[in-house]
Structure 1
Amino acid sequence: MTVITAGTFPPQFLRDDGRRTATANERLVMNLLSRQGSASRADLARLTGLAPHSITRLVEPLIARGLLYEAIPIAAGVGKPATKLALNGASAFAIGLSVMTDAVSLVLLDLAGNVQATRCEKLADIEISGACRQIRTMIDGVVVAAKRDRSTLVGIGIGVTGYFIGDGARLNPPRLLDPWALVPLDTMLADALGEKVWIDNDGNVAAIGEAMLGHGRTMRDFAYLYFSAGFGGGIISQGLPLRGRHGNAGEFASILPLDWPQPNLEALRLSFQEKGVTFPDLHAMLGAFQANHPAVDVWLERSLPSLNLVASAISATIDPGLIVLGGRLPLALGQRIAERITLTNPERRGYHRPTARIAPSLIHGDAAAIGAATVPLRAAFFDPEQGFTMVSDPGVK
């Protein structure tokens, strides 16, 4: 197993053409372009505080390696139009996987943050060897469908539901994923899939995806509430994931007393069942979801005290600018929740403590799979410091 610590990316992770990673200063430029979409050299100089000639020295090698491209300038007034630089999505891609209790979801994400292909299937076999055979077939399918060069694959990010037990990449998932529990997932999955693999829990990777492709483009400090069969989340501080001593920062379900309702989507499925509408699993429920169904009203009434407590605790302890509602949560339901959450915030001398805005995620699709795909790309090209310590490469011993 190879362990990557903060601020490092070993030379053996480079391909022969040197395109697989970027220097710290190059990451600064690429991160800005990821958030901005495109920018001229003058824009980059202004945003970074670097001299124009320094920007030129940074971007020219990135263009030569195919990581950036120069868009055709468009005249918009008097004078010579500025050439815009942008990330070249064709130069690299990553695979993101979300392993859930009822399914496995896959996303192919290119360097520019575009989802090129997706797959979602029920897990045919929860044993890791069988699941990996299914996952390899899914990966082969999306690479072919997206017409991608397999040699430009940076790696595979995997989000698994569960919490870390404080021993490497060993997670403690729900009972339905027993074979994935308390085992070294990083090395096992890297060996089975034959690629570099990053492992994290689903709430963390969803928050990381939001940081790169969603609200994080304008908000550097936020908490992310992850709704799925369970309930959890992640924390982004100064644009980077705050993982905590054991990798479990953002386990917001643990804030709630044992006898309080957990505001998860499995409870919502059971609420539908009480109203005479039966869904075999979350995938079926979300595919036929109606935000104004009476079952949703019942779930909201039961869940709001728990959500109010969690959001109030987050506001008081983390003081984020934003609390994002995401995961597998339908947008319409996220909007209803955002409108109704109430934070504990008494007045003093005519003032209330500044609190976070609450809003649904800006990422549509499988948030954990999309977020998992951003992890290898961020580690290679965007983060000034890699916030992940669990990555395995089957070719590096």
Structure 2
Amino acid sequence: MRRAMARKPLISPSLVRTSDSTVVNQNERAILDVVRREGGTTRSTITAQTHLSQQSVHRLVDRLVERNFLHIGQPVISGRGQPSPVIEINPEAVFGIGISINTDTVRLSIADLNCNEVSSLNIDIDPTIRQTALPALHRAIAESLEASNIPRERVLGVGVAISGYRTGKEDVYVTPAPLESWSNTPLVELFETTFNMPVWVENNASAGAIGESLKGAGQDHSRFAYLSFNDGFGCGLIYDGKPFFGGFNNPGEMGRLYTQEQIRHRPALGELLLRLADAGIHIATIDQLYREFDPTWPGVTAWIAEVKPQLNLAIRALRATMDPTAIVFGGEAPAALKELLIAACDEVDLDRYGREIGLPTYIASALPGDPSTIGAALLPLKDCVLM
């Protein structure tokens, strides 16, 4: 993650190492990452999967147990010798809060150190009016922490996912027209002042990709692209298990790929709502589309055919540049619509000798709801604790 340690004094002092003001150091991150991915493991496995010596692993594990990041479980027999105790993540060691601001919905999520969602809700506010949304978000965070019995001092901070692209400054975005009140504003300062917590901000595609890297496709693929179908159409990139942000912090800004004529035919859900209305199906919001979508509606098949060339153009661009092993179809698209979009992708690619070229695996995201919300909740964990 880009933001390193500049804002760590805002994190609860009980979570910060006194030696260097970090939450955990790089070696401790490596251990936590192995234990989390393995779902509990032994010291010998940690040694085998990291660059650390056996002595270092024992010392660091003991320190993480003392700080309550790890638990010692029951011994298991692994090979010869005495049974080894299982090292397990303490999921309640730290938490991250995630907020996803879309054109018609605001969602909140709380994730534990195992990257599991412990709380999730849609917040009944109008996301287009910043002045009323901010205090409502503050209240929702406090109520969610209380309802989940999570002490404030165990929270690393708040991740915010928002539709839009950066202007050049890291936390200033140009948002879709309905979210104009959030545009051209330093969002980190705005949210930190409101929440009195450290804040990380990403666009919803990158946040969704981060969520997928920790909870979905990232379990099998370290280099993948995440297509985010929202009111617009964007992409997040994961390379070697880490989010890729590019030189200007705007990777996957798909709008720049299309001409003015093509852009209205890209696979953006806002465009689908217009085509459905033309066909007599009146869906007011993307959230309603997610809840009520029927692939047999009139207009759906025609829209898939309309966007197919632009969808495949985006995929060819990703293959030509990033060369991912997988492309994940996510965002706010309903499950059945993701499958229709995957079915519209090119199935065969040939080289000039007529031989098939390997294609990335197309994956429909299985993360519930809008993956950018859980991705936002994982931003603090990814930046402070995990690899």
TM-score (norm: length of structure 2): 0.91
Helix, strand or coil at the partner of 2:327: strand
C-alpha distance in structure 2 between counterparts of 1:175 and 1:350, whole Å:
46
Contact 2:11 2:156 in 1 (8 A): no
Contact conserved, 2:348 with 2:359, CA < 8 A, in 1? no
Q: What's the TM-score, normalizing by structure 1? A: 0.89
Q: In the alignment, does 2:315 pair up with 1:318? A: no
One of 281, 286, 301 as aligned partner of 2:305: 301
RMSD of aligned alpha carbons: 2.2
When the two structures are aligned, how many residues end up with a matched partner? 380
Q: Alignment identity in percent?
A: 28
Q: Which stretch has the larger CA shift, 77-86 or 46-55?
A: 77-86
Q: Distance in 1 between matches of 2:327 and 2:55?
A: 40
Name whichever of 161-170 and 151-160 sits farther off.
Answer: 161-170
Q: State the match for 2:177 in structure 1.
A: 175
Q: CA deviation at 1:76?
A: 8.8
* Equivalent-residue separation in structure 1 for 2:119 and 2:295 (angstroms): 27
Q: Residue 380 of structure 2 aligns with which residue? A: 376
Q: Which stretch shifts more, 149-158 or 288-297?
A: 288-297
- Give the whole-Å Cα distance in 2 for the aligned partners of 1:190 and 1:196: 6
Give the Cα–Cα distance (whole angstroms) in 2 for the partners of residues 11 and 334 of structure 1. Answer: 39
Cα deviation, residue 79, structure 1: 6.8
- Spell out, residue by residue over 1:154-179, the C-alpha distance to the aligned partner (whole angstroms, 9 max, x if none): 00000110100102311000111111
Please report how far the alpha carbon of residue 74 of structure 1 lies from its aligned counterpart in structure 2 after TM superposition.
Answer: 5.5
Query: Matched residues in 2 for 1:326 and 1:230: separation?
Result: 12
Who is 1:391 aligned against? Answer: none
SS at match of 1:167: coil
Deviates more, 1:364-373 or 1:77-86: 77-86
Match of 1:394 in 2: none
CA contact (8 A) 1:97 1:105 kept: yes
Moved over 6 A (4+): 75-79
Question: 1:329 Cα shift?
Answer: 1.6
Amino acid at match of 1:258: Q
Partner residue in 1 for 2:14: 17
Report what 2:45 is aligned to: 43
| 1:321 partner letter | T
Q: By how many angstroms is 1:57 displaced?
A: 1.3
CA shift, 1:111, in A, is 1.0
Specify whether residues 344 and 300 from structure 1 end up closer, same or farther in structure 2 by C-alpha distance, changes over 3 A only: same
Contact 2:15 2:154 in 1 (8 A): no
SS at match of 1:66: coil
Q: Are the counterparts in 1 of residues 106 and 127 from structure 2 also a CA contact under 8 Å?
A: no
Task: Report the counterpart of residue 210 of structure 1 in structure 2.
Answer: 212
Does 1:199 pair with 2:226? no
Gaps of 5+ in 2: 17-21
Does 2:84 match 1:82? yes
Contact 2:348 2:356 in 1 (8 A): no
Amino acid corresponding to residue 242 of structure 2 in structure 1: L
For 1:65, which of 67, 77, 87 is the aligned residue? Answer: 67
CA contact (8 A) 2:170 2:249 kept: no
